[in-house]
Amino acid sequence: MLRDALLALSESSLARRIATDAPFARGVARRFVAGETREDALTAARALNEAAMHVSLDYLGEAVGSQDEARGAAAAIEQVVRSIAREGLDANVSVKLTQLGQDIDDDFLRRTVDGLLDTAAESGTFVRFDMESSDYTEHTLRFFEELWSAGRRGIGVVLQSYLYRTEEDVARANELGARVRLCKGAYKEPERVAYPDKADVDASFVRCMRMLLADGVYPGIATHDEAMIEATKDFAREQGIDRDRFEFQMLYGVRRDVQKRLVGEGYHLRIYVPFGEAWYPYFMRRMAERPANLFFVMDSVIRESPLGFLRRDGRGAAR
């Protein structure tokens, strides 16, 4: 019921107008989305760089239905890439293949992506292909491998630990020598393809993380779960893996207390910064895909607010 309600709100022009105009709603959204314009994203990136954090900029949008939309998205991302180079920012870009025409035609997608990668290569900007629902996993990996076989470098992919297949996909990426961003996954998936229980997702995350740290190429360990963060630190320490061989990744505005702590401890940290006019449907769909995300966002705000002490145990540590 909650999922249906959130999806309905994501498509409601009235709800969007209210959210866009209401100071509180915009304030909450701006905590997790940098803003609507490229300059908003660049401003956020500058501030994060000043705080010793790396950045990945994501121009919001997905599942476009026309070639014109895909070309427009590619052009906007290319502008972001040029801005990164012009300002000398410590940043890369994350893109969704459905935003660039994956649902339209493979040949068209390849032309669109090749143009973007040519622009990125000119300035040495790394491009990460985000992973969407399991319906796209194999298609995305095959497309990535085709690019790799064609000599494309400076590209990476995302893998999700809640899928049963992910350990095999990690081995597949490690064999290529490709950079992987490992996350748990936030889409609603059927039990035939994904672990339904958090404990199993976490166990898979740890196994994949160990494979990536041991045999991968500068992996991004993307999590806000402190247990997963500690498991990563412990494995790296036990195996003598230097901190320069991997990075943690976290979402813009989420667990900023942990973000500061990781940087203070000398770990590399990259912040995923979404922006664009599609912020409202993006935000609501993320909540709808996994309603637990809504409570996670609320929990994150509470943890960092003056009410955070209510969630602390007797030892003064956040649970």
Sequence ranges of the domains in the chain: 34-275
Of residues 232 and 309, more confidence is placed in 232
Kindly state the tokens that stand for 104: 């339209």
Helix (H) or strand (E) holding 21: helix 13-21
Range 34-275 classified under CATH 3.20.20.220: yes
Q: Percent helix, strand, coil in the chain (nearest 5)?
A: 60, 15, 30
Kindly state the tokens that stand for 171: 């081995």
Lowest mean pLDDT among 34-38, 78-82, 187-191, 267-271: 187-191
The catalytic residues are 130, 181
pLDDT, average across residues 160-174: 98
CB 245 within 8 A of CB 218: yes
Work out the pLDDT band at 268, boundaries 50, 70, 90.
very high
pLDDT score for 184: 94
In whole angstroms, what is the distance from residue 247 CA to residue 263 CA? 10
pLDDT score for 148: 98
CA angle 133–152–71, rounded 5-degree value? 60
Question: Does pLDDT of 26 surpass 90?
Answer: no
Taken as a whole, the chain contains a residue count of 319
Digit-coded pLDDT (tens) for 99-117: 999 999 999 999 999 999 9
Kindly state the tokens that stand for 175: 């064999």
pTM score, whole prediction? 0.86
In sequence order, what E strands does 96-191 have?
127-129, 155-160, 179-183
In sequence order, what E strands does 195-262 have?
220-222, 247-251
What 3 state SS string does 55-88 have?
Answer: EEEEECCCCCCCHHHHHHHHHHHHHHHHHHHHHC
- Please state, rounded to an integer, the average pLDDT across all residues of the chain: 88
Q: Among residues 219, 204, 115, which one has the least CA distance to residue 162?
A: 204
The CA-atom distances, in angstroms, between 316 and each of 89, 183, 304, 313, 319 are 37, 28, 14, 5, 9
Digit-coded pLDDT (tens) for 282-299: 677 656 655 655 666 666
pLDDT score for 18: 56
Digit-coded pLDDT (tens) for 78-102: 999 999 999 999 999 999 999 999 9
